[in-house]
Amino acid sequence: MGKTELIKGSTEMILLSLLQDKAMYGYELAQTIERMSEGFLRFREGTLYPALKKLEMQGLVESYWQNSAEGPRRKYYAITITGKKALAEMRNEWGVFQRIIHRITGVPYGESQGV
């Protein structure tokens, strides 16, 4: 499985996880993901905005416009109560998935190859 497939499978959980702490605008989300993943994950507009729109349509996030001192107004995204519940379920499923994959592959949890 390539990096693209890994990103597709975890996009919703990544976005909701970041939005649980504070509302963010799209570029801020993309920069935060890239920084926190040490450049391993890069969410381009063609991935980021459709994913945010999907989350919004599912009622997991809501958006609003806010003026910016640095330029044009920005569209912010915030997690909803439904989104917080969905995130908790995703994290639980992710934990089970990790344990199973580590059990099958023999790779100890937390061991990485270059990240």
Percent of the chain, pLDDT > 70?
87
Sketch the domain layout of the chain as residue ranges. 3-105
How far is C-alpha 88 from the chain's CA centre?
13
Q: pTM here?
A: 0.84
Closest CA to 16 of 44, 45, 58: 58
Per-residue confidence at 109, pLDDT binned at 50, 70, 90?
A: low
The two three-digit tokens of residue 72, written as one number: 């044009």
Highest mean pLDDT among 15-19, 40-44, 95-99: 15-19
What CATH number labels 3-105? 1.10.10.10
* DSSP-assigned letter for residue 106: -
